[in-house]
């Protein structure tokens, strides 16, 4: 994505039902933070300028307290 230029990155967790925040780490890397409401798998959709990013991946680490 670093070669895509300027645009709008959008991350949706569970089809937008779980709020999240995005922070740029530079060089096309981002961190996304969300708080799961329940202990179950969460779907993360990654879009750039309204288009899905092919072969996009995310490492998801979450903690329950």
Identify the CATH number of the domain in which residue 4 sits: 2.60.40.10
pTM: 0.69
Amino acid 10: pLDDT? 92
Give the total number of structural domains in the chain: 1
Q: Tell me how many degrees the CA angle 8-10-16 measures, rounded to the nearest 5.
A: 150
Could you count the other beta carbons within 10 Å of the beta carbon of residue 12?
15
Amino acid 64: pLDDT? 56
Quick: pLDDT tens for 14-44: 999 999 999 989 888 888 888 888 888 888 8
What b/e readout covers 21-60, taking b as 16+ CB neighbours within 10 angstroms?
A: eeeeeeeeeeeeebeeeeeeeeebebeeeeeeeeeeeeee
Which residues span the domain enclosing 7? 1-65
Q: What is the mean pLDDT of residues 45-55?
A: 86
Of the pLDDT bands very low, low, confident and very high (cuts 50, 70, 90), residue 1 is very low
């Amino acid at each position: 994505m670093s070669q895509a230029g300027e645009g709008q990155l959008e991350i949706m967790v569970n089809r937008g039902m779980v709020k999240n925040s995005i922070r740029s780490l530079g060089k096309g890397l981002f961190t996304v933070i969300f708080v799961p409401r329940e202990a179950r798998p969460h779907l993360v959709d990654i879009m750039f300028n309204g288009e899905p990013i092919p072969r996009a991946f995310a490492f998801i680490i979450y903690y329950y307290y």
